[in-house]
Chains A and B, each alone.
Chain A
Amino acid sequence: MPTTRRQFLTLAGSVTVAGTIPIVTLRPLEATPAMLNAAIRNVVGEAPVRTGKVKLDIPPLVENGNTVPMTVSVASPMTADDYVKSIHVFNEKNPQPNIGNFHLGPSSGRAQISTRIRLADTQKVVAIARLSDDTFWQVTTEIVVTLAACTEEIN
């Protein structure tokens, strides 16, 4: 039996509906800027976060979001009474806003850490340092990701 125009349109319509559902269900997986702010507030509390002192070394254009090299360094003399207590790294659009918390001390000598991270989308990465006088300093970098990580299917 030849397909009528009506049957074809019904079929095409249902395929379109089925095709849009996965996109809709994936939306809540993105951390929103509100989640990013909540995660930052969770660490800094009500303290003001100033810009500066922190340096975030990360490629501005990433081909594969599954492994992105990242180095965070903080300008600090790292002496017994002036050192970096911790470094916190956040992202804007992964399913979760946290990337890692790194706890240092005066015996670290140099306030610098490196690791490899995952980025699910083109987004902002924020690094915040807590100094020994409990002030917070931050830096924000925008990164373009062409192949996303985290939410792809396993084959």
Chain B
Amino acid sequence: MAALINVPTKARRGEIIEIRTLTSHIMETGFRHTADGALVPRDIITSFTCRYNGTEIFRADLFPAIAANPYLSFFTVAKESGKFEFEWIGDNGYSSSASASITVE
């Protein structure tokens, strides 16, 4: 699935950087009904993880109260050049991932 990742490509060592992620997902709450009264089953992303060179730096448990196309922004300290890996896990076996590189000087 499509994901938008915003990570600075370059940073000074020790700098605090913001990471912003957006992924496309309906985040169906499981509380909505169709016009004829049938309940629409829940289909949400339940977990988001960000790893920095293999180490987990941020994790979020999501609930139906998170808006469709979940947007998450958080911070980390730029320690070394390398790769950020992002993973979204959800209902019905949903799994999606993305990555971004950073150069730390």
Contact A99 B31 (CB under 8 A): no
Contact A118 B72 (CB under 8 A): no
CB within 8 A of B72: which of A109, A115, A150? A115
CB within 8 A of B74: which of A95, A102, A118? A102
Residue from A107, A113, A119 with most neighbouring chain B CB atoms (10 Å): A107
CB under 8 Å from chain B, chain A span 105-155: 105, 107-119, 149-155
Closest residue on chain A to residue B21 by CB atoms = A115
Number of interface residues of B (CB under 8 A): 33
Contact B35 A155 (CB under 8 A): yes
Return B78 CB to nearest CB of chain A, in Å.
9
Return B81 CB to nearest CB of chain A, in Å.
15
A53 interface residue per 8 A CB criterion: no
Interface of B is mostly: strand
CA distance A68 to B79 in the complex (A): 33
Return A8 CB to nearest CB of chain B, in Å.
28
CA distance A101 to B60 in the complex (A): 5
Which of under 10, 10 to 19, 20 to 34, or 35 or more describes the interface residues of A? 35 or more
Contact A117 B66 (CB under 8 A): yes
Return B30 CB to nearest CB of chain A, in Å.
8
- Please, could you name 15 A-B residue pairs with CB atoms under 8 Å apart, sorted by A? A66-B68, A94-B65, A95-B64, A100-B61, A101-B61, A103-B60, A112-B74, A114-B20, A114-B71, A115-B60, A116-B67, A116-B70, A119-B65, A153-B34, A155-B35
Chain B positions near chain A (C-beta within 8 angstroms): 16-17, 20, 29, 31-35, 40, 52, 55, 57-68, 70-77, 79
Chain A positions near chain B (C-beta within 8 angstroms): 29, 66-68, 91, 94-96, 98-105, 107-119, 149-155
